[in-house]
Amino acid sequence: MTETALPPAQGLDAITRALRRGESTSVGLVEATFARIAALEPKLQAFTHLDEERALMQARGIDLLREAGVDLGPLMGVPVAVKDLFSVDGMPTRAGSAIDIGDLVPPQGGFVNALYRAGCVLVGKTRTTEFALGGCNLNRPPPWNPCDMQQARMTGGSSHGSAVAMAAGLAGFTAGTDTGGSVRWPAALCGVVGYKASTTHWPRDGVFPLSPLLDSVGVFTASARDAALVEASIAGRIPQARRAASGLRLALPGPHFLEDLDPAVGACFEEALKRLRAAGAAIFELDLPEAAEINEVFRCLVPVDLLAFLGRKRVNEQWERFDLVASQRLQAALSVSADDYVRMATRQRALEHLIHQRAQGIDAWIMPTVPVLPEPLARYTTVEDVGSWNNLATRNTRPCNLFNQCGISLPIQHLGASLPVGLQLCSSCGNDAALLQTAIAVEDALH
């Protein structure tokens, strides 16, 4: 953290303990949250919509339920913000776009319903890049990265509003979506934890889609332990028993994930491996050459899926209203043939099965989340600049989606960098709870 960065966000453990002990109330917590938002949001620009009146109404109801002896679980009364792809009754959904999409917005879905059932208080919706295509738009600059309050730096995307809000302590935790790294990537660049669930682990109805084969829901938290608490609480169970780093089996994939690392990223990653080995983890090389297929598959699947959902007629009629970065990616979809699309979708399913088999006997794949540091935003002024940065910055995150894995990024800046750095762990689809326990063990070993 630089001297001009905001202090780390408060963890869920402290928040939930204070609520349960009666040391704070949900109303008091929500009021404090909106006071902090009022102080920082003019600079950060993390939100697209805030609903203080309704949030306070929800908080008063939660406090009354608690007084009556009702226990909805550990998240009861915690303020939460969700990305502007989630439909929330009473809140607008714009998906980061000026395009008219009112007829396409789905009704409130299972994930938001689960947050309400857990007693969460929704304070508002956070910014996304247009339709979640990439990490940066040119006509809608990303929110301000709290790691440096003097110079605007890249935040990653597309869930950058949720990452910034979490890093600035504007909610107990925040939610986003991840199609090619859109939770783990901004988590790494903003210095927080970003957990991407397996595609089917959390419901995706009620979420404006980008690519159904690759989309997943994720959350930003202050720690891996907080992420495990959120995952278990939404499922209505307690987190799995903790495990130690000793005995972990971590696979270090081939050169694709370790090329062109910023020296500070490389130094932090090497120190992390050193500490994990000292703690008793077994780390061994296991090549993953299929990761090199990410560019071809993503070029085909993602923009074509979005084009199909928006409709070619709508896209053509409103073309001039798109951000230039988004329109460039959609342009490629206009010429993709049906047989190319089917071939790529078939290949994605084959890769998922292949990598699942190769991962037998390991707890997680381990790698840097993003090869570079959060660079100054002023360096990226053209579509070509942004496109090149997107490709490099998501090089290590997109394979997790391609292989339908669950994944998490842990902040490791403290191991030798002046700006945020992320460590990524990935595991097979459906291994979410186990991955989170692995992440806790890694987090403990690195502190």
Residue 158 is among the residues annotated as catalytic for this protein: yes
Token digits of residue 164: 């910034």
Give me the DSSP letters along 259-297.
Answer: TT--HHHHHHHHHHHHHHHHTT-EEEE---GGGGGHHHH
The three-state secondary structure class of 218 is strand
Among candidate residues 303, 305, 294, the one with its CA nearest the CA of residue 393: 294
Token digits of residue 13: 């453990």
The C-alpha atoms of residue 196 and residue 409 are separated, in whole angstroms, by: 9
- Return all residues near 329 (Cβ < 8 A) that are at least 6 apart: 133, 134, 302, 303
Q: Which residues of 255-278 are buried (b: 16+ CB within 10 A; e: fewer)?
A: ebbbeebbebbbebbebbbebbee
Among candidate residues 271, 232, 287, the one with its CA nearest the CA of residue 12: 232
Residue 313 is among the residues annotated as catalytic for this protein: no
- Determine which one of 83, 211, 233, 427 is catalytic: 83
Token digits of residue 44: 């950060």
Q: Give the CA diameter of the chain.
A: 61
Nearest 5°: CA angle at 170, between 164 and 171?
A: 105
- Return all residues near 340 (Cβ < 8 A) that are at least 6 apart: 300
| Strand-pair category, 47-50 with 121-126 | antiparallel
- Determine which one of 26, 87, 159, 182 is catalytic: 182
The C-alpha atoms of residue 304 and residue 432 are separated, in whole angstroms, by: 29
- Determine which one of 26, 87, 97, 158 is catalytic: 158
Contact 363, 438 (CB under 8 A): yes
Question: Active-site residue numbers?
Answer: 83, 158, 182
